A and B are shown apart, each in its own frame.
Chain A
């Protein structure tokens, strides 16, 4: 198994642009989590899905952020419009039995 796959690995964009981050969880894992990590705020849970259904999105910072999981093998996190303060590493993780398997992350820089 290739593990959790995220794309792109790096994204540099300008303020105001739409950004879409993608995640493919490990097959058979039925929960998927999106996190944001910065030096200032550490590792923050944004949203998680169980069986493709969003369960808790209380960590999503504002309406500019949205996440979808149209099927068990794919999820997206979209930021529209992006702002410089959104610059961070975004991780997704798929979960089995409580253990989180993290993807390699997407490093987002918004200029």
Chain B
């Protein structure tokens, strides 16, 4: 099966700073690379995704970059705010086989 690793497992930043979370994967057939945010007591929700024909995608303060050769993709959050505090999961996916593996999660804490 797919090996997925997320780093770091916890991240604490000051409000206004940037945060970067990295996800490495092993399955070269993965072609869809989403990031999910899970606030305390709530369900995971998609915040941004990228497909394998694109290297970078940005949506306001969040962005995802993909390096398919090295098999990793990263979540970038700029100008962090306290409401960004949550657990973030990556889930590299082979949409053909509908196979995916969630990373172990990164707990982001934004200090006001």
Q: A43, B43: Cβ atoms under 8 Å?
A: no
Q: A102, B45: Cβ atoms under 8 Å?
A: yes
Interface centre among A55, A91, A100, A103 (most CB of B within 10 A): A100
A56 adjacent to chain B (CB < 8 Å): yes
Q: B91, A42: Cβ atoms under 8 Å?
A: no
Q: Which of A48, A55, A97, A104 contacts B95 (CB 8 A)?
A: A97
Q: A42, B45: Cβ atoms under 8 Å?
A: no
| A42-B105, A43-B105, A105-B43 given; A100·B91 CB < 8 A | yes
A99 adjacent to chain B (CB < 8 Å): yes
A99 to B45 alpha-carbon distance, docked (Å): 9
Q: A91, B95: Cβ atoms under 8 Å?
A: no
Q: B102, A42: Cβ atoms under 8 Å?
A: yes
Q: B101, A45: Cβ atoms under 8 Å?
A: yes
- Complex interface: chain A residues within 8 A of B45 (CB): 102
- Complex interface: chain A residues within 8 A of B98 (CB): 31, 48, 50, 55, 95
Shortest A37–chain B CB gap in Å is: 9
Q: A98, B93: Cβ atoms under 8 Å?
A: yes
| A31-B98, A48-B98, A95-B98 given; A100·B105 CB < 8 A | no
Shortest B69–chain A CB gap in Å is: 21
| A98-B32, A98-B93 given; A56·B44 CB < 8 A | no
Chain B 86-100 interface 0/1 with A at a Cβ cutoff of 8 Å (1 = within): 000101010100111
Residues of B within 8 A of A (CB): 32, 34, 36, 42-46, 49, 89, 91, 93, 95, 98-102, 104-105
